[in-house]
Structure 1
Amino acid sequence: MLTDWPRAQGAPLASGVLKAQPEDFVVEEVFDVEFSDDGEFDWLWIEKIGDNTEYLARKLARIAGVQPRAVTYSGQKDRHAVTRQWFCVHLPGKNKPEWRVPENETWRILRQGRHRQKLRLGSHRYNRFILRLSDLKGDVADVETRLPIIATGIPNYFGEQRFGHDGGNIDACRQWFAGEINPARFERSMYLSAARSLIFNTVLAERVTAGTWASGLVGDVFSLRDSGSVFLADIDTEITARLRDGDIHPSGPLFGKVGKLAAAGDTALLEERVYSDFSDMCTGLMKNNLAMERRALRVIPQDVKWQFADDGALSLAFSLPRGCFATALVRELINY
């Protein structure tokens, strides 16, 4: 079982249901694209329900008669949700096909175009979410109090889906590092990601408990809001103002071999203490030659809107940068 990471505003006083049905969780990539109308790449804007991204990518490859590696996408999307995202099919030497969705499928093509450029992982900047939280119970007034506060920033936790059912990806990762199993390449990537995410969440949890997740700590490496570029700086009046304005965020580690830029001072001491608690995972990550990266500890949702329905359900809309989890926002509002 995973730890119940601390919330920025303390434990919620209300509970509810997330994803009572797929239509209660809608996510759409925010990604403007202008097609060249020529080239070797077919881009497909697809709405899907009940299929994960990788599964649909393989299905598109079979329809097009190409290898799975010829189909790319910008980001992974939930299975149990309504999702809209771009897929790209490399069709060298082939005319633009007439794409037809087979009968009884739960996905449809909303838009398509031909392009000279390949769609690469991480190309979109934001995801737009529209959620419905149903069966609210407990202190709903507490939810109303929390709603305007989340718009000012939330802890940027990795969501529980990163770790598998009941943390199964973490258990499998430890077995792999101990030499007990030999997972396939895709599984290895998934387990490495889960291990780094667990270490990051643990660092962030300590910072939330200490109240330094948004305000900064001596020795912090700061992350720029838009680009994600990082830099080391002392906390002075300028840094404090940029933190307050949301222009920069404190960052936490995606563990690996340290490069030229590393945390210092109190930040380094805190992170080293967490590394010692996960020494087996850190050793395994080092053996896999991963480089240290940094991820913002805070994320500020954009265009946050909400409305309570007549049946008491909460409709909630917001945008998050790619790689950030809607569940990290929901858990700041309710227990679900």
Structure 2
Amino acid sequence: MDYREFFSQFKYLSEKPGIGGKIKAQPEDFIVMEEPLRSAFDGKKYAIFLLKKRNWDTMAAVKEIAKRAGISHKDIGFAGTKDRHAVTYQYISVPREAKEKVEAVQLKDIELRFVSYGRALKLGHLLGNRFKIIVRGVDESAFERAKEIVRELRSKGGFPNYFGYQRFGERRVTNHLIGKLLLKGDFEGAAKLFLGAHEGGMEGDEARKNFWETGDVNRALEEFPGFLRYERAMLYKYKETRSWRKAFLSLPLPIMRIFIHAYQSYLFNLYISRRIEEGLPLNEALVGDIVVQVKGGIPYRDRTYRVTETNIEFVKEKIRKGEAMVSGPLFGFSMRRAGGIPGRLEEELLAEENLSLEDFKRLPKPMAEPGGRRELLIRPLGLTYGYVPGVGMCFRFFLPKGVYATSVLREIMKDH
């Protein structure tokens, strides 16, 4: 199953036909500019660089910069991971004493510019991202169609805040399935899927297929190419310990957490889709909903309150003023649960998945997931768009951190 087929299960909020077309035909069609927190520039211990990259994964770029500068990649901080098939601008921090070494690094499709001194950057240490995206393969009629869709979505409060396909895997849409198996304590099943899932056409797929069919660890170590370093590390650990649990726990924590987060994201997407399917509003609070506070268009997901019979009119007014948004569940052991109709939807999802919130606590300690809430709608700030003859539609907008531009475009294009 590819990501288009996977995403077809999630309902569109707008009913107007999409404009079609294609994004990311070339990296320059998808430009991302990170907007950091001002506090990133407080301090003197770290040198802050603006990293421009083209067709580079963030982690791969950081590791290569570190290697060329002769420092550990763990000494390079960054606030967010960025699309590979794009031209992206993001900030990185390096120890002050490494400034000149990093300035001297020269790599194809990478530019580094010293900005100022500041603090060590950590994931999430940003306000959001500005986007400029070209949709190719459309004619000038796309402008009017886009206008109708945007008008319709504004009347419904915004775009559905689905997690984008990057969360689940573009070619091997398995991250959420692995996460579910880990939650159930099935480390062998999770390992088999992580190592053996294959779609065909990718380097290493033949080796994955052989492992899927035979489970032969020694053969896999002979056949898995060197770039599948996490897979090979897991195989070696299994050979040493004969324990798939220990093999999985030998992976770096950020890699293990990807799978749990992907499963949480899948359930959140299902929640939005069910709410649309049942005709329940995303921009209007129901009794039992949990709403998040919003300031300057930025949602503060750790500031939530419950909607009751007595405060519902007050909350609705807050939502109308753009000071609050209805949220959905990121399931975890200490998540604030909704009541009423929204609570029933949450309960139904958990029951269908044969899941309890305690399952998120039973994970090995580093992977245990407290969960939280996330707003149901995306409200792109400064959204502008137009048709460029001979090119296609050009969209520009700003999104808060953790929100996917591809989910905005999906609603306009209706391509998956």
TM-score, structure 1 normalization: 0.90
Whether 1:270 and 2:360 are equivalent positions in the alignment is: no
2-structure distance, mates of 1:142, 1:55: 39
Query: Cα distance, 1:273 vs. partner?
Result: 0.4
The 8 Å contact of residues 101 and 108 in structure 1, kept in 2 or not, is answered as no
The 8 Å contact of residues 14 and 138 in structure 1, kept in 2 or not, is answered as no
Whether 1:142 and 2:145 are equivalent positions in the alignment is: yes
Q: Which has the higher contact order (CA 8 A, sep 6+)?
A: 1
- Percent identity between matched residues is 24
Whether 1:81 and 2:86 are equivalent positions in the alignment is: yes
Query: Cα distance, 1:285 vs. partner?
Result: 2.9
Aligned equivalent of 1:244, options 320, 324, 328: 320
Query: Cα distance, 1:59 vs. partner?
Result: 1.9
Q: Deviations over 1:215-267 (max 9, x none)?
A: 122200101123232111225222112222222111111111135x4311221
Range with greater deviation from structure 2 (233-242 or 189-198)? 233-242
| Structure 1 counterpart of 2:25 | 20
The 8 Å contact of residues 96 and 114 in structure 1, kept in 2 or not, is answered as no
Query: Cα distance, 1:29 vs. partner?
Result: 0.8
Q: Deviations over 1:197-223 (max 9, x none)?
A: 001111111112223222122200101
Distance of aligned partners of 1:198 and 1:109 in 2 relative to their CA distance in 1, 3 Å threshold: same
Distance of aligned partners of 1:37 and 1:271 in 2 relative to their CA distance in 1, 3 Å threshold: closer
Aligned equivalent of 1:109, options 95, 108, 112: 112
The 8 Å contact of residues 150 and 332 in structure 1, kept in 2 or not, is answered as no
1:17 alignment partner, SS class: coil
2-structure distance, mates of 1:62, 1:81: 23
Q: Counterpart amino acid of 1:52? A: D
Q: Counterpart amino acid of 2:409? A: V
Q: Which structure dedicates a bigger proportion of its chain to helix? A: 2
| Structure 1 counterpart of 2:212 | none
Query: Cα distance, 1:103 vs. partner?
Result: 4.5
1:14 alignment partner, SS class: coil
Query: Cα distance, 1:86 vs. partner?
Result: 0.4
TM-score, structure 2 normalization: 0.73
Q: Counterpart amino acid of 1:267? A: P
Q: Counterpart amino acid of 1:246? A: G
Aligned equivalent of 1:291, options 370, 377, 382: 370
Distance of aligned partners of 1:276 and 1:119 in 2 relative to their CA distance in 1, 3 Å threshold: same
1:167 alignment partner, SS class: coil
The 8 Å contact of residues 289 and 342 in structure 2, kept in 1 or not, is answered as yes
The number of residue pairs the alignment matches comes to: 332
Q: Counterpart amino acid of 1:99? A: V
Q: Counterpart amino acid of 1:300? A: R
Range with greater deviation from structure 2 (55-64 or 310-319)? 55-64
2-structure distance, mates of 1:230, 1:25: 34
1:319 alignment partner, SS class: strand
2-structure distance, mates of 1:224, 1:76: 25
1-structure distance, mates of 2:328, 2:140: 34
Whether 1:305 and 2:381 are equivalent positions in the alignment is: no
2-structure distance, mates of 1:34, 1:222: 27
2-structure distance, mates of 1:188, 1:281: 20
Query: Cα distance, 1:37 vs. partner?
Result: 9.3
The 8 Å contact of residues 17 and 133 in structure 1, kept in 2 or not, is answered as yes
2-structure distance, mates of 1:297, 1:35: 28
| Structure 2 counterpart of 1:212 | 281
Query: Cα distance, 1:70 vs. partner?
Result: 1.1
Q: Which structure dedicates a bigger proportion of its chain to strand? A: 1
The 8 Å contact of residues 154 and 300 in structure 1, kept in 2 or not, is answered as yes
The 8 Å contact of residues 199 and 278 in structure 1, kept in 2 or not, is answered as no
Range with greater deviation from structure 2 (211-220 or 58-67)? 58-67
Q: Counterpart amino acid of 1:128? A: R
Q: How does 1:30-179 map to 2 (within 5 A)?
A: 30-31=35-36, 33=38, 39-91=44-96, 94=97, 96-97=99-100, 99-100=102-103, 102-115=105-118, 117-136=119-138, 140=142, 141-150=144-153, 152-165=157-170, 166-176=172-182, 177-179=185-187
| Structure 1 counterpart of 2:407 | 328
Q: Which structure has the bigger radius of gyration? A: 2
> Gapped runs of 5+ residues in structure 2?
192-243
| Structure 1 counterpart of 2:229 | none
The 8 Å contact of residues 302 and 320 in structure 1, kept in 2 or not, is answered as yes
Aligned equivalent of 1:193, options 249, 258, 261: 261
Distance of aligned partners of 1:270 and 1:254 in 2 relative to their CA distance in 1, 3 Å threshold: same
1-structure distance, mates of 2:139, 2:20: 5
Distance of aligned partners of 1:301 and 1:149 in 2 relative to their CA distance in 1, 3 Å threshold: farther
Range with greater deviation from structure 2 (4-13 or 117-126)? 4-13
Query: Considering only aligned residues, what root-mean-square deviation do their CA atoms show, in Å?
Result: 2.5
Q: Deviations over 1:17-38 (max 9, x none)?
A: 0111110001111126488797
The 8 Å contact of residues 44 and 87 in structure 1, kept in 2 or not, is answered as yes
Distance of aligned partners of 1:38 and 1:172 in 2 relative to their CA distance in 1, 3 Å threshold: closer
Q: Counterpart amino acid of 1:142? A: R
Query: Cα distance, 1:74 vs. partner?
Result: 0.5
Q: Deviations over 1:123-157 (max 9, x none)?
A: 11121010000102797343231134445511111
